[in-house]
C-alpha cells in the first residue's frame, strides 16, 4: 500500500513540475530579482553579509549550494524551498519498461527459445514481465538497462 501511495505522490509531482524551468541565474537570484529585493536586504533578513548572498547565488549556479542555505534564503525572501526527486515518467511505466527489458534479457538465456514462435516468445516476455512486476525480486533493478 505504501508503494502505491508513493507512486501516486511521485507521479503527481512529476506532472506538476513537468513545465517548470529554473531561472537562468538560479532560484535564489530569480526570486530575489522578481521580488525586487536587494542582496543587502536579503542579507539583513538572513543575518549575513551581502557578499554571502552573492556567493550563495554563485554556488547555486555551480551546483554547490547547500540545502540548508536554499531553505534559509527562501525563508528570508518569504518563500519556501522545495526539494524533490521527480521521475522522468510515470513510475508504473518505468517499472514496466524495465521488467520487459529484463524479461527479454532472460529469454536470451533459454536454450530452445529460438525455436519458439514469435507469438510464444512475445507471450513469454509478457508473462515474465508481469511476474517480475508482481514479485519484485531483490535483483529487479540489476542489469537490463
Model confidence over 85-109: pLDDT tens digits?
Answer: 999 999 999 999 999 999 999 999 9
- Indicate the pTM of the whole model: 0.77
Q: Which residues contact 111 (CB under 8 A, 6 or more apart)?
A: none
Average pLDDT over residues 68-86: 96
Span 2-23, average pLDDT: 93
Mean model confidence pLDDT for the chain: 95
Q: Say what percent of the chain tops pLDDT 90.
A: 94
Residue 61 — left, alpha, or beta (φ > 0 → left; ψ -120 to 50 → alpha)?
A: alpha
d(CA 34, CA 121): 58
Q: How far apart are the first and last CA of the chain?
A: 27
Cβ–Cβ < 8 Å for 81, 74? yes
- Residue 143: the pLDDT is 81
Amino acid at each position: 500500500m505504501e508503494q502505491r501511495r508513493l507512486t501516486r505522490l511521485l507521479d503527481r509531482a512529476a506532472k506538476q513540475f513537468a513545465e517548470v524551468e529554473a531561472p537562468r541565474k538560479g532560484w535564489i537570484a530569480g526570486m530575489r530579482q522578481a521580488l525586487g529585493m536587494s542582496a543587502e536586504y536579503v542579507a539583513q533578513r538572513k543575518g549575513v553579509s551581502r557578499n554571502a548572498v552573492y556567493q550563495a547565488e554563485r554556488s547555486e549556479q555551480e551546483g554547490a549550494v547547500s540545502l540548508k542555505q536554499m531553505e534559509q534564503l527562501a525563508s528570508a525572501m518569504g518563500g519556501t524551498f522545495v526539494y524533490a526527486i521527480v521521475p522522468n515518467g510515470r513510475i508504473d511505466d518505468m517499472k514496466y519498461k524495465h521488467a520487459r527489458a529484463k524479461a527479454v534479457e532472460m529469454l536470451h538465456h533459454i536454450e530452445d527459445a529460438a525455436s519458439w514462435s514469435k507469438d510464444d516468445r512475445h507471450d513469454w516476455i509478457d508473462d515474465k514481465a508481469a511476474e517480475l512486476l508482481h514479485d519484485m525480486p531483490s535483483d529487479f533493478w540489476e542489469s537490463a538497462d
